[in-house]
Structure 1
């Protein structure tokens, strides 16, 4: 076990790195952050910020020399960096989980190999693949880059097969993955933590709503049939076991019109849809991230209050920012701002958690704010 007083390292200093750092420091640990952005949110709260590229081996050597263990804020850390660190200190989760999550085709194939269902997909690598894929999949579909896509970035809607060549060219990528659109009824996520000993705990499922492919709301408890919730937890546990995973893992699911459960993707880290845990659970997903990294027992994940999490995107700042006075008039709302210096459309600047006696009332509070701000549903 790594006990308080030790120093932990994290690759990535965005809001997830910031929230990890705050949890770790509250629990008595020092934190070093490696991030190339001099203004990254975690820099303001970490003991030391190594402002360097993720594959800067002199910076990685400093982490290895001064940190008892290292984790990552996001999955697109270079594999070479993780392998270098793994040879020297504990890295949790390991490079295998990150490598799978970095590549959409490898990720979906991994799910299929475990016997889990995914939306129909096909890989495009050369021009001859276009005609084959067009015959294989139904349209409309979504064309995505195989790597580095998130929050709707790196993807194009494709209504018919004839649009496919132009859509692929617009992505400017040597390979892409095409996924058939499904008749979607619900989206939700499972956030779990798994310890060094293999113990797992599951947070209450979050029912998710997206706007322009960016997470908008997470509603907890999720209004999902219990049988589907159990199936999702079993699927997420299967993924974690297959990876011998240590840390916090999020798995996103789709529910088809016919009630079939499909795995969408995994995030080998805390997740945006798990931010409700900071205010509504006994222990947050970031507390669990610290505990798993340090080889400690996992904490209680009990839900203390129904809650709805809403992201605050940079679009709100285009007209001068949210109406803070109206926001703070609601005593049920907990505000989390990330300290990002530049607001851009679609950029996550913060989030709020609305807590109430039931999720519908919490949702109503946020809907009132939407009307006041003319915020899109």
Structure 2
């Protein structure tokens, strides 16, 4: 396909990390060219398009990307809203600056959820130590102090269990604006991903069950016919339609047993949806591109159960991974570094009765140093359903 309905043959992406890389890879079959703007000269998306190396607030970033592109998107929410607004004044940008404003500030995000009748943890704003002391009285302890902006992968947050920890917690994150959230007692963490095009068509992906360590996603499991699927779809539909969202979005959710509560949204393709690259006909990346170019969205149903294992810090022995049937390793080409997402492995089951699927997930978890997740996985509803 060499063109699309709105004629966008060149898509500019703000950011040039692994999400931009995977978007460009998905666009190869759609006849789309890509350019990226980012301050890093060694950005991992660079081999897949044209890279403009500028700080995001440099006027040259806006000029270069805007003059080259037919359409703009972005790969993460920690970018200046002002850059998106400036580009939006001249051309189509999806998702919009409104979506970015909501998702890049935890107060805006949670307020929006509540206004839509979507449950969240109890929260209140914190701008000083005295605010934090008052918030702890209101919300109760234990609780989590989080920066309103720029927190991801466990960064920008402190768990507070006792009153005598308040001053140290504030000292850790101050002087930036924060919120204090109550701790939520949940049965599992899940996420719903959906894509919505300009015509308002929405394609929902099956829920993923997610496992985190140190605030970083380690394992996602695609869920077929999950009883919470419809409720999750209603939540993300409300959000998308309320803000006129265009593109792929993720909403992370707490399963409280009787209902779901929203944790946060991401106005972009999401780590917990990487399993879709091998587990569905159309990945979250392909449907994002189809959505922002206003084309019909493609099939999102699960073909076979799929596990996604994040590779944090380093890439394992590729020969060992290749020896496991139906395992695919994605190397982002990033320098190894503690805490850095450098790749992921997708493992698909061979049909619905694949007795080797869970054992192979366990092999991979052990291979990448995630032994502590094995016990948690074996206790999960996912495992007991697959037995």
- Do they fold alike, i.e. is TM over 0.5? yes
Aligned pair 1:16/2:19, yes or no?
yes
Q: Which moved more, 1:285-294 or 1:58-67?
A: 58-67
- How many Å separate the matches in 2 of 1:360 and 1:124? 50
Find the counterpart in structure 2 of residue 98 from structure 1.
Answer: 100
CA contact (8 A) 2:11 2:72 kept: yes
Aligned pair 1:55/2:57, yes or no?
yes
1:154-233 equivalences under 5 Å are 154-221=156-223, 224=226, 226=227, 228-233=228-233
Find the counterpart in structure 1 of residue 290 from structure 2.
Answer: 291
The alpha carbon displacement at 1:176 in A equals: 1.4
The alpha carbon displacement at 1:261 in A equals: 1.4
Find the counterpart in structure 1 of residue 348 from structure 2.
Answer: 355
CA contact (8 A) 1:10 1:31 kept: yes
CA contact (8 A) 2:197 2:293 kept: no
Find the counterpart in structure 2 of residue 71 from structure 1.
Answer: 73
Alignment deviations for residues 271-315 of structure 1 (CA, whole Å, 9 cap, x no partner): 00110111111111111111112121111212222111110110x
- How many Å separate the matches in 2 of 1:235 and 1:25? 32
Find the counterpart in structure 1 of residue 242 from structure 2.
Answer: 242
- How many Å separate the matches in 2 of 1:80 and 1:140? 36
- How many Å separate the matches in 1 of 2:244 and 2:366? 46
CA contact (8 A) 1:121 1:137 kept: yes
When residues 180 and 331 of structure 1 are mapped into structure 2, their CA distance, relative to the original with a 3 A threshold, is same
- How many Å separate the matches in 2 of 1:264 and 1:158? 18
1:338 to 326, 332, 335: 332
Find the counterpart in structure 2 of residue 252 from structure 1.
Answer: 252
Number of equivalent positions: 366
- How many Å separate the matches in 2 of 1:173 and 1:218? 35
Alignment deviations for residues 176-214 of structure 1 (CA, whole Å, 9 cap, x no partner): 111111112111111000010111110111111111211
Give structure 1 stretches of 5+ with no counterpart: none
1:271-310 equivalences under 5 Å are 271-310=270-309
When residues 118 and 361 of structure 1 are mapped into structure 2, their CA distance, relative to the original with a 3 A threshold, is farther
Counterpart secondary structure, 2:11: strand
When residues 205 and 293 of structure 1 are mapped into structure 2, their CA distance, relative to the original with a 3 A threshold, is same
Give structure 2 stretches of 5+ with no counterpart: 374-387
- RMSD between aligned alpha carbons? 1.6
Counterpart secondary structure, 1:353: strand
- How many Å separate the matches in 1 of 2:175 and 2:356? 45
Find the counterpart in structure 1 of residue 262 from structure 2.
Answer: 263
- How many Å separate the matches in 2 of 1:304 and 1:343? 33
The alpha carbon displacement at 1:372 in A equals: 4.3
The alpha carbon displacement at 1:250 in A equals: 0.5
Counterpart secondary structure, 1:366: helix
CA contact (8 A) 1:25 1:31 kept: no
Find the counterpart in structure 1 of residue 379 from structure 2.
Answer: none
Counterpart secondary structure, 2:187: strand
- How many Å separate the matches in 2 of 1:68 and 1:131? 50
- How many Å separate the matches in 2 of 1:146 and 1:222? 34
Find the counterpart in structure 2 of residue 32 from structure 1.
Answer: 35
Counterpart secondary structure, 1:184: coil
Counterpart secondary structure, 1:241: helix
- How many Å separate the matches in 1 of 2:45 and 2:125? 37
